[in-house]
Amino acid sequence: MLERMDLRRPAFAAITVAGTNGKGSTVAMLEAILRAAGYRVGAYTSPHLIRYNERVRIDGRLATDAELAAAFERIESARGEVPLTYFEFGTLAAFELFRRSAIEIAVLEVGMGGRLDAVNGIDADVAVVTSVGIDHTHWLGATRAEIGYEKAGVFRAARPAICADPDPPAPLTAYADRIGARLLIRERDFFIERDPNRPQDGWSFRFGDIVRAGLPYPALRGEYQLDNAAGALTALETLRDRFPVSQGDIRQGLLQATVPGRFQVLPGSPVRVLDVAHNADAARALAATLARQRVAGETFAVFGILKDKDIVAVAQALRPLVDRWYVATLHTARGASVEEIRAALAAAGVGAPVAAFDEMRVAYAAACRDAGAADRVVVFGSFYTVGDILAALPEGAGDGR
């Protein structure tokens, strides 16, 4: 289909971003920095939280219903008897809209894995793997080695292949070596430097003889966002001959990049945090950020998750921080039932009270009602969980960071 629609080798440059966690944040930083530098940028991400249009951004705006529908019609007319999945349809539509909008560079988030993902159908000028953890085991394998190999499939011969995970599994590095990619690994080829005693000085990024000092901490919350920022900056440095960015562009981009549902703090009281953490690594990162931002009162967890996730490991990561659990079934075929969640919480050693609800929004309302001004409500476990709550908020209530 890429060949049929003349999209196999598009005129725009492309950065492909794969990884277990951190993809969306890395895409957002790359997009914001490149747009600050004045480039016309397309961004393709998944999944969406509320509206499908969130997946395709053209020069900072969401693709319209009319644009998407027209692209789907063109794909349908061209495909004949070629079968396409939902994600393949969407990926083709994004590429088609980017071409028609004459963007200069696209930042593309892999849906799952890398090697066999539809996004990998075009050859990226730079590929980034943000992290390698355990997720989607039914499709990608049960070990970091197997999953790392799948993610390495986005690398290309003689092109930069960036790994922001400082401990990449051997199959990832072996694949890069075998195809002749220019592999760059965090803490080996590029570095994050900061003085914890002087956070007001910001942080520094170092790559070869390039040093960018005094950088602001990203608007996206969480210490792990520096790892994502370092991967993004390395990608941009490898493209500096074609897409140069200034220190000012980087500062502006880091401060402006936002992604709904990534440690998103809603305005008002009590403190309410929305995070799409849905696997063990993401849950541990969420727990670390919550631990650093303590509250005087209790922490209430509003939790819904897919049944094919490691629910026990996710719960174990948050168990020390949560005083009460409010759980609900996600109304999708893959959603874990409240009975399954209760059993997983028990297996994780959760001794805190657990209240069960039929609807995620009802669970959230109950947690907010029970929470005092000094307490904290944390919504997490899935894109579905966060999306359901965001969709129910009044207009503008989800605009906080």
pLDDT in tens, 203-221: 999 999 999 999 999 999 8
- Domain check: are 58 and 156 in the same one? yes
Summarize pLDDT for 217-246 with one digit per residue, the tens.
Answer: 999 988 889 999 999 999 999 999 999 999
Of residues 218, 214, 208, 216, the one with CA closest to residue 240: 208
Banded pLDDT at 196 (limits 50, 70, 90)? confident
Cβ burial, residue 329 (10 Å; 0-12/13-18/19+):
buried
Of the candidate ranges 171-175, 262-266, 395-399, the one whose mean pLDDT is the lowest: 395-399
CA 378/CA 263 separation, integer angstroms: 9
pLDDT at 400: 43
> Are 17 and 165 found together in one domain?
yes
Does the structure show a pLDDT above 90 at 137?
no
Question: Do residue 225 and residue 348 come from a single domain?
Answer: no
CATH number for the domain that contains residue 70: 3.40.1190.10
> Nearest CA to 246 among 42, 39, 107?
39
Same domain, 312 and 362: yes
In a domain? residue 375 = yes
Work out how many domains the chain is built from and give that number: 2
Where is pLDDT greater, at 265 or 198? 265
Q: Domain of 376?
A: 264-392
Q: Are residues 227 and 323 in the same domain?
A: no
Residues in CB range of 139: below 8 A, 6 or more apart: 112, 113
**Do residue 301 and residue 363 come from a single domain?**
yes
Q: Are strands 61-62 and 56-58 parallel, antiparallel or unpaired?
A: antiparallel
Contacts 24+ apart (CB under 8 A), 389-398: 389/274, 389/302, 389/360, 389/361, 389/364, 390/49, 390/50, 390/260, 390/261, 390/274, 391/49, 391/50, 392/361, 392/364, 393/266, 397/266, 397/267, 398/260, 398/264, 398/266, 398/274
CA–CA distances in Å: residue 127 to residues 182, 287, 374: 10, 29, 44
Q: pLDDT value at position 197?
A: 75
Distance CA 227, CA 287 (A): 17
CA distance 235 to 13: 12
**Within-domain flag for 286:** yes
* Domain annotation covers residue 5: no
Average pLDDT over residues 290-318: 96
Angle, helices 360-370 vs 383-392, to 10°: value is: 70
CA distance 162 to 22: 13
Q: Let me know whether 229 and 292 are in one domain.
A: no
Distance, in Å, from the CA atom of 45 to the CA atom of 48, rounded to the nearest integer, reads 8
pLDDT of amino acid 401: 40
Q: For residues 209 and 194, give the distance between their C-alpha atoms in angstroms, rounded to a whole number.
A: 17
Look up the pTM and report it: 0.94
CA dist., res. 387 & res. 384, Å (int): 5
Question: Which residue's entry shows tokens 């969401």?
Answer: 62
